[in-house]
Amino acid sequence: MDKQPEAGGHRIPLFWSERSDYFRLQREAKSFDVELALLEARDQPSDKSWASAARKELANVSQYLHEKNNVEGGWLSLHAARRHATLALNPEELEIRASILRAEAPKIASWRGREMLNLLSPNVKKPTVNHIISAMAIRDEYFSNQYHKIWLVGDQLMLLLISCFVAVLMVVPLVVFSTRHPYCAPAPWGYQMVLSVLFFGLLGAAFSAAGSLMRADVTAKIPERVSNQFVTSARAFFGSGTGLAGYAFYQSKLLGIQIGDNNLPGCGLAVAFLFGFAGERLIANVLGTLGAPQSHNNEEAASVTRR
């Protein structure tokens, strides 16, 4: 029997959520290893190609975990191993598996849930093992996509946090100036204020981008602004430009913007934050508008293909 490698000596994720996924997958793989051994020990026909395939997928789980630290790939292999092991189930167990899948189908959105019900409907014909395996594959693909979207959102949020953490250095000159000259206001267009304005514009955009990411519908298709790190970075750094533009309007008195005591540097920084926030929201709406027709066309194409 193949033994699952232990976690010792391998790099384990540092963050709590990643560690939780890592160890959960490890527990599931070990549990299925025992279940697979029981299925292999049954008095089955000589053809046990399903067992060989399941063992290979189980070995892939270990490889993904301990060599590549790829939890998502490990789950894909574990689900595939379970589908291969379905070939070893007896008729009663297959009927139970089909009943469970029928109960799960309504929870799955889009065409996948409907297709699962079509494959397993007892009113049409008795589901075969191939029908059950196909339904399992549809279910596994659906949940894999959902978790992939969640991990993508987490990656984008981490990128925003890192960007803000690095950019905070831009405020240091203003802090040093204010510490040395507590009763003097910095020059409106001195490098201390300009760098701080750029940072607060970026901070406002990062707040807006983080909010839109956390409000993203995980049941929908993956939009470009969630899956592409460059797009997320551009949305945040675009806020620096809009923040600087807002600060320029504020200093020029062109729009008559009044925030508290106009002589305080904090008022200009607040304007930069607000313009950065609003500017990012604007570009996000533009990206969403540009992506909508393409998404609609994809839905139509998929519908035609299924017909």
Q: Is residue 297 part of a domain?
A: yes
**pLDDT value at position 32?**
95
Are 299 and 236 in a shared domain?
Answer: yes
Residue 113, pLDDT > 70, answer: yes
Average pLDDT over residues 162-182: 90
Q: Is residue 70 part of a domain?
A: yes
Q: Answer whether 25's CB lies under 8 Å from 74's CB.
A: yes
Q: Is residue 57 part of a domain?
A: yes
Distances (CA, A) of 259 to 3, 199, 251, 291: 67, 19, 12, 37
Are 28 and 82 in a shared domain?
Answer: yes
Q: Is residue 4 part of a domain?
A: no
Q: Is residue 3 part of a domain?
A: no
The CA distance from 178 to 172, in Å, is: 10
Given 102, 124, 147, the domain boundary residue is: 147
Are 143 and 155 in a shared domain?
Answer: no
Are 290 and 155 in a shared domain?
Answer: yes
Are 202 and 253 in a shared domain?
Answer: yes
Are 37 and 139 in a shared domain?
Answer: yes
Q: Is residue 1 part of a domain?
A: no
The CA distance from 83 to 57, in Å, is: 10
Residue 155, pLDDT > 60, answer: yes
Q: Is residue 124 part of a domain?
A: yes
Are 155 and 292 in a shared domain?
Answer: yes
Q: What is the pLDDT of residues 34-72, one digit of tens each?
A: 999 999 988 666 678 899 999 999 999 999 988 767 888
Q: How far apart are the first and last CA of the chain?
A: 46
Are 184 and 299 in a shared domain?
Answer: yes
Q: What is the pLDDT of residues 5-17, one digit of tens each?
A: 444 445 555 454 5
Q: Is residue 2 part of a domain?
A: no
Are 170 and 300 in a shared domain?
Answer: yes
Residue 203, pLDDT > 80, answer: yes
Are 98 and 181 in a shared domain?
Answer: no
Which residue from 181, 159, 133, 143 is spatially nearest to 226, judged by alpha carbons? 159
Given 102, 122, 147, the domain boundary residue is: 147
Q: Which domain holds residue 46?
A: 16-147
Are 134 and 159 in a shared domain?
Answer: no
Domain count, the chain: 2
Q: How confident is the model at residue 215 (pLDDT cuts 50, 70, 90)?
A: confident
Residue 144, pLDDT > 80, answer: yes
Q: How confident is the model at residue 254 (pLDDT cuts 50, 70, 90)?
A: confident
Give the relative orientation of helices 16-41 and 71-85 as an angle to the nearest 10 degrees: 20
Given 82, 113, 147, the domain boundary residue is: 147
Are 113 and 183 in a shared domain?
Answer: no
